[in-house]
Structure 1
Amino acid sequence: MNFGFSFFVGYRYWRARKANAFASFITLFAVSGIFLGVAALIVVSSVMNGLEGQLKNRILGAVPQLTLISDTGFDDWQTSVLAVKKDKRLQHDIMGIVPSATTQGMLQSSSNIAAAQVLGVFPELEQGLSSIISHTYSSAFDALTPGSYAIVLGSELARKLGVKADDEIRILSGDGVVYSPLGPVPSQRKFKVAGVFEMGAQVDATVAYVHYQDARRLMRQDPEVIAELRVYLNDPFNVASITPLITDSLSEQGVAVTSRDWRADFGHLFAAVKMEKNMMSLMLSLIVAVAAFNIVSALVMMVVDKTTDVAVLKTQGLTTAAVMNIFIVQGSLNAVLGLVIGTLTGIVLTLNLNEILTTLGISILGAGQTLPVQLSLTQLTVIVVGTLFITLIATIYPALRAAQVQPATALRYE
Structure 2
Amino acid sequence: MNGFEGELKKRILAIVPHVLVEVPKDDTSNWQQTKKDLSQLEFVQNISPIVEAESLVLSNNALQGVLIQGIEPEQEQHNLVFQHMLNGQLNSLSTTAYQVIIGQSLARKLDVSQGDKIRVVVPAKTIFTPMGRIPVQRIFTIAGIFNMGSQVDDSVIYMHKNDANKLLRVKDDEVSHLRLYLQDAFLAEQVVEKIHQQFPSLTARSWQTSQGTLFSAVKMEKNMIWLMLSLIVAVAAFNIVSALVMVVIDKQGEIAILQTCGMDRAGIVKIFIAQGVINGFWGVALGSFFGVLLALNLNDIMSVLGVNLLGGGYATQSLPVDLQWLDVLTVSGSALLMSFLATLYPAYRASLTQPAEVLSHE
TM-score (norm: length of structure 2): 0.91
1:395 corresponds to 2:343 = yes
Q: Paired residue for 2:62? A: 112
Q: 1:290 aligns with which of 235, 239, 243?
A: 235
**Quick one: distance in 2 between partners of 1:282 and 1:185?**
57
Structure 1 residues 324, 179: CA separation in 2 closer, same or farther (over 3 Å shift)? farther
Q: 1:131 aligns with which of 77, 80, 87?
A: 80
Deviation at 1:60, TM superposition (A): 0.9
1:57 corresponds to 2:10 = yes
- 1:146–1:211 contact (8 Å) kept in structure 2: no
Q: What is the alpha-carbon root mean square deviation over aligned residues?
A: 2.4
Q: Report which stretch shifted further, 313-322 or 164-173.
A: 313-322
**Quick one: distance in 2 between partners of 1:364 and 1:338?**
29
Q: Report which stretch shifted further, 50-59 or 215-224.
A: 215-224
TM-score (norm: length of structure 1): 0.80
Q: Paired residue for 2:247? A: 302
Structure 1 residues 183, 341: CA separation in 2 closer, same or farther (over 3 Å shift)? farther
**Quick one: distance in 2 between partners of 1:165 and 1:139?**
7
Deviation at 1:219, TM superposition (A): 2.9
Question: What are the equivalent positions in structure 2 for 1:160-175 lying under 5 Å apart?
Answer: 160-175=109-124
Q: 1:371 aligns with which of 288, 294, 319?
A: 319
Q: Secondary structure at the match of 2:24?
A: coil
Q: Paired residue for 1:40? A: none
Write the letter of the residue equivalent to 1:261.
S
Deviation at 1:184, TM superposition (A): 6.9
Structure 1 residues 404, 184: CA separation in 2 closer, same or farther (over 3 Å shift)? farther
**Quick one: distance in 1 between partners of 2:19 and 2:132?**
35
Deviation at 1:213, TM superposition (A): 2.3
- 1:103–1:174 contact (8 Å) kept in structure 2: no
Greater RCO, CA 8 A, separation 6+: 1
**Quick one: distance in 2 between partners of 1:82 and 1:347?**
47
Q: 1:260 aligns with which of 170, 180, 205?
A: 205
Q: Secondary structure at the match of 1:194?
A: strand
Q: Which runs of 5+ in 2 are unaligned?
A: none
Q: Secondary structure at the match of 1:388?
A: helix
Report the number of matched residues.
358
Structure 1 residues 182, 264: CA separation in 2 closer, same or farther (over 3 Å shift)? farther
1:86 corresponds to 2:35 = no
Q: Paired residue for 1:103? A: 53
**Quick one: distance in 2 between partners of 1:386 and 1:275?**
20
**Quick one: distance in 2 between partners of 1:85 and 1:146?**
29
**Quick one: distance in 1 between partners of 2:212 and 2:168?**
27
Deviation at 1:327, TM superposition (A): 0.8
Identity of aligned residues (%): 40
Q: Paired residue for 1:199? A: 148
- 1:101–1:119 contact (8 Å) kept in structure 2: yes
**Quick one: distance in 1 between partners of 2:225 and 2:10?**
23
**Quick one: distance in 1 between partners of 2:289 and 2:259?**
39
**Quick one: distance in 2 between partners of 1:231 and 1:63?**
11
